[in-house]
Amino acid sequence: MNRIARNLADGREIIYFDERPVPRDAVDGRDLPPVVAASEIRLDPLTREWVAMAAHRQSRTYKPPADLCPLCPTKPGHPSEIPEADYDVAVFENRFPSFSAGVPEGQTTVDGLGVVPVAPGRGRCEVVCFTSDHDRSFAELSPRRVRTVVDAWADRTEYLSTVDGVRQVFPFENRGEEIGVTLHHPHGQIYAYPFVTPRTERMIEVARAHLAEYGSHPLGDVLAAERRSGARLLARGEHWTAFVPPAARWPVQVRVVPHRQVPDIAALTAAERDDFAEVYLRVLRSCDALYGRPLPYVAAWHQAPVHRDRELCWLHLELFSVLRAPDKLKYLAGSESGMAVWVNDATPEQIAAKLRSAWSA
């Protein structure tokens, strides 16, 4: 992989990850104003969870026509966020970040009353473009290209983990309008949070208790049980296994888990990265075949916090979809939204059987 870093017209960094050496000398000739981010985080006093406020994102790009896509390569008369005429994988700082290193320092409380802490939303948000082809999807990438994406995720995880104030690095992909995607070019994002996320805090708490009681990691035990059972298994490689979680919340939900406990993507070996590409592509292609249409989904990497409890975390990817039928969505209604108690219309065994059948059809 060939890695070249450049800067956009407003000073934001862009990094090209190429599968062969390519000169990257194109200049971003746009007249762009400086990025202004006013992010802050507030601590909910009832749950002790941080909530981010990023009102400047209201003006972000929203469903542009394909010929004006800001993630396609630059063409004559149509400059984009990617100055080059072509690329393999490109990563750049988000122009409308939820978290930014440029947010002023300072800490206070809401209305100065000392009840709700407020802190600057310092961090970094990046966009990861998986291919220059606007009409492709991740499922249509080659294994080699997926490996390049994995290497880019690893590179960014390693770097962002060194950024002052960053506590956790979260690569993810949102796909489909039903998920809320406003740019259709195949891409994902990386959030570098100034706190450890609530989901990760809960998994660390559970892992600590499980280790104390059983001497093992809960995800390791689940992985071993799923490989023995096979009832919810979707794909198995030399280093990774994909299965529907035995307590799946979503109408389509898959975990892709490495056989070796590692804290983050950067810790994966070359063989593990190659095998992930094969296993994950099978999962995605099964998902797209399920309803005979591109499946809207969120694909979320669970990585360890940067500075603590890394031995209690087990890297894995979780993919889930709100689509419960070709033309029906699962809405988060009263129980899910109000009480975080999930009700699934299908059993995990049924979900797995449908995905396996879709793959073999």
Say which residues have a Cβ less than 8 Å from residue 111's Cβ, sequence separation at least 6: none
Question: 259 an active-site residue?
Answer: no
> What is the Cα–Cα distance from 223 to 242, expressed in whole angstroms?
9
Q: CA–CA distance from 128 to each of 93, 152, 299 (Å)?
A: 9, 8, 13
134 has binding-site annotation: yes
Catalytic residue (choose from 187, 239, 302, 316): 187
> What is the Cα–Cα distance from 111 to 280, expressed in whole angstroms?
48
Distance of CA 353 to the CA centre of its chain: 26
Axis crossing angle, helix 198-214 with helix 218-229, rounded to the nearest 10 = 80
| Joined tokens for residue 60 | 């972000």
287 has binding-site annotation: no
69 has binding-site annotation: yes
Residue 32 contacts residue 45 (beta carbons within 8 Å): no
Nearest residue to 192 (alpha-carbon basis) of 263, 104, 121, 128: 121
| Joined tokens for residue 212 | 């104390």
Residue positions forming the annotated binding site:
69, 72, 134, 185
Binding residue positions for Zn(2+): 69, 72, 134, 185
Residue numbers annotated as active site:
187
